[in-house]
Each structure stands twice: as structure tokens, then as C-alpha cells.
Amino acid sequence: MSRSRRRRPRLPSPPGKRNGRRSHPGLFAVAVAGVAAAAFLTVVYWPLDDELERMVPKVEQILAVQTEQTAAAPTASRFVCEVAFVNDGDTLRCQDGTRVRLHAVAAREVDETCSPRHPCPAASAASATAELRRLAGNRMITCERTGQSYNRVTAICWTAADVEINCAMIRSGTTVVWDRFNRERAICQS
């Protein structure tokens, strides 16, 4: 009698496998890429919340000032300052921590004194501080570095409307020109 060989019944292959091998090895990569693309588009097109919506005008203003700055004079000495605080009539602080001293401008100290050998304006320190706040406080300004003084950048600065802040402070009568520094780099040239 011949021996017949008995065959085991074959079970169906699991999905994605055929004869012990994957049918489409790139299919998994395509699926992962699709999920990643869907996640990216969700993030990009997700509605902005109120805080982000408030930031859009500020970012647009920064970009406008930087574009204007690049067009005006593409030098490494120019920088954008988002004014965080006005210290007195000739010094302010930017949001990034940079302290800016207005070049060739002299104002009274906060305690209403004038340092020895410094020009001394007749106007009060409070009026000079108020004027600088009016011109630059909580605004985006463009400055051009002229030097360094006591861990402060000395600079000539402009408002977004292209008003030279150093000159406007002098013309307001709340500060005076510091001739020694004005001879090195003159202000009020526009």
C-alpha cells in the first residue's frame, strides 16, 4: 500500500504578509508620512488663539522696521529695539535687555542733578523722561550704534515714522546737545 502523504491545511496569511514576506515594505513609510503631513497641516491651519492674534501686529511691525532698516542702511551697527522701559531723559531699555544711551544728548539725572563736566539743561529730569516716554515708550524703534558707555550702547534712534529721537529730545527743550559727542557724530542731520 502506498503511503500517501497527508497535507496540513494551509491557514490564510495575515494581512500585509504573503508567503512569509511583507507585500509592500514602503506602505508603512507612506502611512507614517501621511500621518505626519496631516499633523503638520492641523498645526498650520489650527485657529489662532487670542494671544497669538495679538502678537501678529507686533511681528508685522518688527518685520516692517527690519525691512525699513535694511533698505535704509544695511550695516551691522543698526538694530531694532522694542522699548520696555525709559530710565530717564537720555536712557532706555529694550525688551532684550539692551540698555541704550542716546548719543550726544544730555539730560538731568533722575534726582534732578547734573554730573560734573556734563552739560546741564534747564528743564527738569521728569519733563525729559516724560518726553522720551512720549517718543519711544513701549514702541519699536530703530537705532544705530555709535559706541559704548557704562555697559550701555550709545546710539542714534528713530521712530517708525522716521523721527530722529535724539534730535526730537533736543528740540523739545528738555535736553541739550552734548557738543563733545556731537562733534564725533552729529545728530539732527535729517
* CB under 8 A, 24+ apart: contacts of 55-61: 58/82, 58/140, 61/140, 61/160
The whole-number pLDDT of residue 91 equals 97
Task: State how far the Cα of 96 lies from the Cα of 56, in Å rounded to an integer.
Answer: 19
Planar angle of CA 99, 102, 166, nearest 5 degrees: 140
Residue type, 183: R
**What would the CATH number be for the domain defined by 50-184?**
2.40.50.90
Task: State how far the Cα of 91 lies from the Cα of 100, in Å rounded to an integer.
Answer: 6
- What DSSP designation does 75 have? -
Q: Taking the chain (190 residues) in consecutive chunks of 10 residues, what is each chunk's mean pLDDT? A: 63 57 59 71 65 66 58 71 97 97 97 94 97 97 96 97 97 97 92
Planar angle of CA 15, 20, 25, nearest 5 degrees: 65
The whole-number pLDDT of residue 32 equals 73
Residue whose C-alpha cell reads 495679538 in the numeric block: 54
- Strand 99-102 versus strand 152-158 pairing type: parallel
User: Is residue 89 within 8 Å of 132, Cβ to Cβ?
Assistant: yes
Task: State how far the Cα of 153 lies from the Cα of 138, in Å rounded to an integer.
Answer: 19
The whole-number pLDDT of residue 74 equals 45
Residue 156: in which H helix or E strand, if any? strand 152-158
Domain boundaries, the chain: 50-184
SS3 category, 113: coil
